[in-house]
Structure 1
Amino acid sequence: MLDLNSIRPFLEASPNAYLIMWADKPHYTMVEASTAFYEIAGSSASQIIGNSVFDGFSAQGGEHNEKGVRVLKDCLDRALLLKKKQRCSLQRYDLPTDQGYEVRFWTYEISPLINDEGEVCYLLQHVVDVTGSVLSEAEEKSFDPLIDAYPDAVGSLDLKGNFLSANLAMLNLTECSREDLLRRSFVPFIAPEDFGRAFSGFQKALLGEMAKFETNFISTQGSRYVASCTCMPIKINQDIIGVHLIARNITNLRNAERQLEHYHQRMASIIESIRDGFFAMDRNAVVEYWNREAEHLLKMSSEEVIGQSLWHVLPKGLSTKFYASQQRAVNERISIRYEEFSAVSQVWLEVSIFPSPNGLSVYFKDITERMAAERALEESEKRFKALVQNGSDVISIIDRKGTYLYMSPSSMATLGVGPEFWVGRNVMEFVHPDDAERIRGMLHASYTNKQLHIQPFRFKRNGEEYRWIETVITDMSDDPAVGGLVSNTQDVTERVEYIQAIEDQNKRLREIAFIQSHIVRAPLMRIKGLADLICNYEEDAGQVKMMLGLMNEAVEELDNVIQDIVGKTDNL
């Protein structure tokens, strides 16, 4: 039997950690240990000596300790069976503390101690605590110059959540120096309301799974961010020794999303307030939006339509024409506008289709009143056109300088030439020289008078003869549809000539009256005077004869006058 007393001084003086166990499988009772072993194991001799190694180092503390105990048992059994040294390169076994368990990593060798009979009487375990080097390796493994330049915040955490490394973006996010951040827990950087979610993600990574979560992140200076975080396990030889924490500052993104949501709400409010019907659909014709006016005009609620294919829900009265217009808008990337009567709502609709990157936007409105007004206007225009084209009056539009802008077709009958002759020519070219000054004055007066009545003046017809015309000018320069002076002209030649004939007749009648009152009276007075003399003069017959001759002359004069009057009356 090997004498333990002979090796006890060696164990006490050795800086290495040794443990001697009896080869009493399956207990492997611990019988001696070096001072260094007690130190790294955090135990005393009373807790070690005389106890099974599996009582002193139980499987409690989690799956890592359970695995550590299994590996230790296998090494002990193989060393006992094979009588050869067994080595465990790296094994995690956490030691209990007042706060729980402390992560520890070990390597060890188990050497069988053989007696003179060739039997294994003891097993010697040489244990090395490699926790420091393993964590340092993990820290070095997690740090890379490329990671330091990575725009997202990247750090490595130990199994307690303390920072082992951090890149520049993480330092900026936490507003810490590297020295201040290392060995600090990640927990104070998490907003209290988000701690449960963040710690759950950390725990999930410790179990070997990747975890993603969003949290409000608070820096050491009190700055608050919204961070999208990812936790991934750090593994060495399939053992999880820490957690990678990757955090992306998405504050601006979330603010932009809130602004976009506010914008969408505002746009929805605007769309709902407009009087046009509106709906939007994606590239597959699935309805994405349907406002209240669309519900009213097409008699379908948004609940019935949104999320459905438009072709399954669109009223049949619209499908054919709308489908063709929609296809053209999509294929040619152009806006389409058309009008059609809706049999569903019994109204006329004006439909406008606009292509967008994601589909189509469609606006439509009730134009029934407008269509009725347009039809009424069309009928009115037809009546007006008939009056203008078939009436005897000549309708024209001139500017203030007298240039013709429009001439009605009736100019052919009244003025001898068609409308194309007049447009672009000036009215003064055709006015009689004796009337020109008066007409210029009337054109000038149109600046201050809304309507002018121009008395008859002479106007050249067909470039040859002058005709008398009468015109009423109305200023419609402010009307965009007219933009000039509207002239309504009549040929009054017959009326003017008739008036002139009456005036000539009246002149002759006045002359007859003058003759009757003056010229006829003179010979009559002479005849009357001679008659009186003859009656009162009886002595001289020759004198009487002379007086009768004078009377005869007066009678002839009177006869001539009467003949002249008769001649004048013949022309009346």
Structure 2
Amino acid sequence: MEDAITASVEAGEQKRTAPVDLQLFYALVDNSPEPTLLLKPEGTILYANQALCSLVGRSAEFLMKLGRDVLMVPEDPRWLTALEERRLNGEFQGEVLMQHANGSHLLVEVKAKAFTCSGGEVFTSVYIRDMRPHYHSQEQLIKQQQQLQSTLADLQLVQDRSADLICTFDLQGVFLRVNNASQSILGYLPEEMIGKSYLSFIHPDDIAITDDSTAKLQSSASAVITNFKNRYLHKNGSVVHLSWSSSILIEAKKVICIARDKTQLLASERFKEETEMRLQALLSQGADLIAILSAAGEYIFASANSHRILGYSPESFIGKSSYEYIHPEDISGLQKVFEEVLQCHVVKTEPFRFLNSSGEWRWLESTVTNCLEDPNIRGIIANSRDITERKQAELMLQESEQRYKALFHLNPDAVYSLDTKGYYTSANKVTLDLFGLTEEELTKKHLYDYANPETLEKVKAEFKRVLSGESISGESSLIGHNNVYRYFNYTEIPIVVNGEVVGAYGIAKDVTASKEQQLLLEATAKRLHNTLESIKDAFFTIDKDWKFTYVNKEFEQVMRLTRNGLLGQDFREIFPAQDFSESYAQYQQGLSEQRPVHFETLYKPANLWIDVSAYPSEEGVSVYFRGINDRKKTEAELKKLSLVASKTVNSVYITDDMARIEWVNEGFTRVTGYTLEEVVGCRPGDFLAGPATSSDKVNSIREKLALDKPFVQEVQNRNKAGEIYWSKLDVTPIIDKETGGSKKFIVIETEITEQKRAEEERAQLTEELLRRNRHLEQFTYIVSHNLRSPVANVLGLTSLLGTTDSPEMRIALTERLQKTAQNLDAIIRDLNDLLSLRTGAVEMRETVLLPEVIEQALQVLPNDSAKQVTVELNGIKEVGSIRSYLSSIVSNLLTNAVKYQSPDHPLQVRLIAEKSPAEDMLYLSVQDNGLGINLAKEGKNLFGLYKRFHFHVGGRGLGLYLVKTQAEALGGQVHVESEPSIGSIFKVSLPMLKN
């Protein structure tokens, strides 16, 4: 340190006058990240670098003025020790609290050392280190270590308490560790399996595939295999089906495996498939997604649950190739499966990706059955299951590398932990998917939030038992994602640390599928019986010997017989051939040709007309029939009505229940120009609807038809010659009560074209009167409010002018009077513009050159802003309009776009013109990137008179009012899109007026 440094010279002056080498030293110290001080022994600060100033929030000048005491915390006794030690030993190193400018205390390490200059004067250099980051890092490290220890303890509990078999074996296949589930799954205690080869327990027929899978695992690049299935032998000799997820630890030369017992599930699936195959011909549906394909792979049938599973309606599949929905990478594999199923009976596919209606790829697996020879099906049945969640879980299993972490995240069951208050503290992906939450969101949820309200008290009682140190197991239901109830087998155990319960750990196995399957199997037997009993048709079946095998309740009521007296009896003995001659012939024909038959016949003993549908099979005939006496009467009445309707003047037509025309009278042909032969089988809305009768209105009429109530509807139609006319439709449904829904519609159409034309003229006149009234209100507003104020100001100023002799006062009053007169002039000009709007509608329409109008508007823009305007006329040159109005609209929109430009970026303005020949309309839009308008707040005042939304630039708030008023005067409209700081788009639609 140079002698030139003294306490009387300021630090800034020292730097400016120091030699070059010393200046370099100052630069080095000043830019050092380590806080540094130079001071005298008594505490006067001679120098403080920038790092110190930033640390304590003080300037160097402040510190040099007040000295060392401003940095010391008086309550900290370590300062006295530091000063004393530095005085005695010449140096000190230790921790103290330092005062910050905001009053807070900083823990720092101080290194102080005294030294003597060549002139004999003593100074002290001080180096300071902020200790807060150091201690914060130590705290974080301790927390991470504690969290790691807790995680390891949790994961150990997963292994010990898991319902699945978890084991570890070496690369030779010898078991190294087995969890307690081995006893419940295989009947062996863990110690009976440890030290033995897994080959000792595998079913002999599965040894080869298991060895092959193990070899693939050891040589695989991913070192993970999931969903591998084989069979083990239970200690009692029974066969156990297992599904494995395996991961190899190359460095440890170990393999970690998790196995799930699939025995009951496989047995249930086989039973389910057999049951659904028996019901398929009759009910055509199942619990899973079921489709029937042709030999070419096209959809013939899709079950109703396709909408719930994939988002498609069953009808949308029909006729389409199944490969349209398959992922390109999976098509070749499924083609091979399809070829294989054509050669054999049943083939199970590997998982494949299927496109749902939302554009997402869902994972499916299918059991494909060849039923082309089955006369009830004649197709290939594909029974598919959505396994997306399972597939995603398998993919997540493949990404795990660490042993305990794999045990937690690869567990196929829901694994979670709770604190003593019942809040979730951790969860695996299965648990998060169950609730549809992220881990951060779940940690804010309580155990009771998802409990079934009916079992909430039970959950509370069991959780108390766990907190008391007891382990519990059971079955319950809870509310999962999207409020769907799911069933679980669960185990909850206390987490004990140092003899104290600090939380609970839980494992829950989702048994929803098996539970629902159990309920489904119980209901399946009832479902067939209830279905046949609940249908409105009478139903019976006879075998090949013509003996009754089934009779439903409706049959008993219609035929007035009891099923107990019919079952096993010969049909021909109960119903003699002379009463059912046609029925016998039809049934015999159906049996011989093996095809359905449908006919109507009269049951003479009861004078009952019946509609019969018979379906032959290898076992006999299934017959549906219903009484149709009412329908026969209705048909007779319709014949009479058609004779009357054919002679009426109005247009009359009759449709079936699908609104298809069956009959029209001469009045229909006269009004529409169409004959019965041209329209029979067609729906009126498909060929008569005029431009004003939208598809929505046509659909609305068809929806009303479904209500089975009379209604009246006005529509615009177009006749065969293309002429437009208006009609009133009186629609009356005729319902066949005998069949419970068969119906027809009688429509009487009255032409009301002249009446509608008169209504339109009245509406136009009303709109014109309202528009003129709005102009009159604005004129009155200006006269009563804006004009009165400046007039009053003029009167007051002139009165003051006559009462003062002061020249200065006269000059000031004269200036005020001049400004008031200018305001009055502006208001009078606004009145003139409003009067022009009222009379402008009678101006002569003319052919206007649009490019010329726009060029004139661009020339008057300020500050060369016209260069920032992009004009896109799309070939439009001449338009029919009122030139003054069109010029005013364009000028006001461009002027506003320039006037309210944003200061944050360069101005950009686009003027776009488009023409619609079909509508004979001109569309003008002006887009800018300016300040924008808050439409939610200011939208209702946007086109008001004297309304302004930005006050940093001049203006009267008249421009947008003129744009809207002039556009409406031309028969057009104005639409606005705007966001603050983004910009605005003003769209003006104008009719192309005739001269």
Mark yes or no: TM-score above 0.5: no
Higher Cα Rg, which structure: 1
- Tell me the TM-score normalised to structure 1 length: 0.28
Higher relative contact order (CA 8 A, sep 6+): 1
